[in-house]
Structure 1
Amino acid sequence: MRQEKAVNPWLRQGLELGPPILFFLAYMRFQDVTWTIGGRDYDGFILVTAGFVPLLLLSMGILWKLTGRISRIQVFTAVMVVVFGGLTVWLNDERFFKMKTTLVYGFFAVTLGIGLLRGQGWLKVLMGEMLPMSDRGWLILSRRIAATFALMAVANEAVWRTQSTEFWVTFETFGLPAFLFVAFMAQSRLIERESLSADDGERKG
């Protein structure tokens, strides 16, 4: 496996969090503006989405260049953003971009669920290098995070269908990531209890 290059943590955070925050700021600035392009009217959400897609790809490309690696989750998320962002702009319909978030979290929940049905904690594939834990620990963590992703998918679907676009943009930019962060932080006791020491890893390797 290719070794990831060290990069300034503040730069990494900027590249990972910058695009969604800029999307939020741009939408708040242009939400009431309408552009007429080629005889069609596009509201602020559509045009901001059109700018967000290349910005996200550029940010990921820079991060890949700096670190030499990119995660499967990032690749999948980028593909979904390109596909549903493209549909949003092409069809001039903001619902596609809003549904994208539901599908991303739903996909993660279903994928982890399939692994659990096979008796495997598939989070280990993504995070095993960062969190050396027992197989039992990965099963428990995968079960909890799968439930978290499922809840986030349901929440996003409920919010975009019942609330204003402004509320959804705020919820998607800050609410869902904060909830996921808290959900992971709440697993600290599990991670501590099921963690493996270097000697354990060598004996099991």
Structure 2
Amino acid sequence: MEFEHAPNDPTRQELPPLLKLALELGPLGVFFLFNARGEQIAQLFPALQSLGKPIFLATAAFMVAITVSLAVSYWLTRRLPIMPMVTGVVVLVFGALTLWLHDDLFIKLKPTIVNCLFGAVLLGGLAFGKSFLGYVFDSAFKLSEEGWRKLTFRWGIFFFVLAVINEIVWRNFSTDFWVSFKVFGMMPITLVFTLTQLPLIQRYAIMDEAKED
């Protein structure tokens, strides 16, 4: 199995933007739908009633959906994007613990673990002079070393902020609210943060000489 190559790899195959977005957000949509309509779905498929509350049904569906998403992504590109791959592994591990122990604590901890992991890798890489964010976003734009360093630092801090937000929400609100916030809260927050980084990206962007000619 081949993983994402280093930046500027000319052999890298890219998915169409809409398909890539669907593969990344689709499993999250499935998670929300099965949690919101879990009782109705269980009535249609009685075998699913053994899973218990909707959150457990949603967790099982989430695991299946993210596995299918990764499989389709690999089938189309012959490689796995780093962030979805790591997220998928954590979902499968913590989802399995959720279903096995019948405790939704583990699936609620998943965003905290994933965001802390990404934050630690990004900031830890900077401590050793490595801007790992470039390996994830290079297909979208090219930056100077200083640009990657600053953007990596900001994203590293932001991932830890997301982890704190997740902890606050799941510890103080209902499971249904947490699921809804995960879909309709975290995504807009991430989108707004991404948009606020556009000035930095434009400032340190490296233009393609061929396009300039």
Give the TM interval when normalised to the shorter protein: 0.7 to 0.9
Asked whether 1:173 is paired with 2:183, we answer: yes
State the Cα deviation string for residues 12-55 of structure 1 (Å, max 9, x = none).
32222111112101111126998998xx7721111221122012
Partner of 2:153: 143
* Aligned-residue offset at 1:112: 0.9
* Kept in 2: contact 1:34–1:43 (CA 8 A): no
Partner of 2:141: 131
SS at match of 1:140: helix
State the Cα deviation string for residues 132-167 of structure 1 (Å, max 9, x = none).
111111111011111110100000011111111011
Structure 2 residue ranges without an equivalent (≥5): none
**Cα RMSD after superposing both structures:** 2.5
- Of 93-102 and 110-119, the range deviating more from structure 2: 110-119
* Kept in 2: contact 1:102–1:157 (CA 8 A): yes
What fraction of aligned residue pairs are identical, expressed as a percent?
A: 34
- Of 47-56 and 89-98, the range deviating more from structure 2: 47-56
Partner of 2:26: 18
- The number of residue pairs the alignment matches comes to 199
SS at match of 2:129: coil
* Kept in 2: contact 1:46–1:88 (CA 8 A): yes
* Kept in 1: contact 2:31–2:58 (CA 8 A): yes
SS at match of 1:169: helix
* Kept in 2: contact 1:34–1:41 (CA 8 A): no
SS at match of 2:52: strand
- Of 3-12 and 169-178, the range deviating more from structure 2: 3-12
SS at match of 1:99: helix
TM-score in terms of structure 1 length = 0.87
With over 3 angstroms needed to count, the CA separation of the structure-2 counterparts of 1:41 and 1:14, relative to structure 1, is closer
TM-score in terms of structure 2 length = 0.84
* Aligned-residue offset at 1:199: 4.1
Partner of 2:208: 198
Q: Distance in 1 between matches of 2:60 and 2:164?
A: 26
* Kept in 2: contact 1:33–1:44 (CA 8 A): no
- Of 158-167 and 51-60, the range deviating more from structure 2: 51-60
State the Cα deviation string for residues 40-93 of structure 1 (Å, max 9, x = none).
772111122112201210121012212222211111111100000000000000
* Kept in 1: contact 2:26–2:65 (CA 8 A): no
Q: Distance in 1 between matches of 2:12 and 2:164?
A: 34
Q: Distance in 1 between matches of 2:127 and 2:188?
A: 28
With over 3 angstroms needed to count, the CA separation of the structure-2 counterparts of 1:63 and 1:159, relative to structure 1, is same
Partner of 1:27: 35
* Kept in 2: contact 1:113–1:143 (CA 8 A): yes
Of 105, 110, 113 in structure 2, the residue corresponding to residue 95 of structure 1 is 105
With over 3 angstroms needed to count, the CA separation of the structure-2 counterparts of 1:97 and 1:139, relative to structure 1, is same
With over 3 angstroms needed to count, the CA separation of the structure-2 counterparts of 1:41 and 1:68, relative to structure 1, is closer
Of 132, 136, 153 in structure 2, the residue corresponding to residue 122 of structure 1 is 132
* Aligned-residue offset at 1:197: 2.1
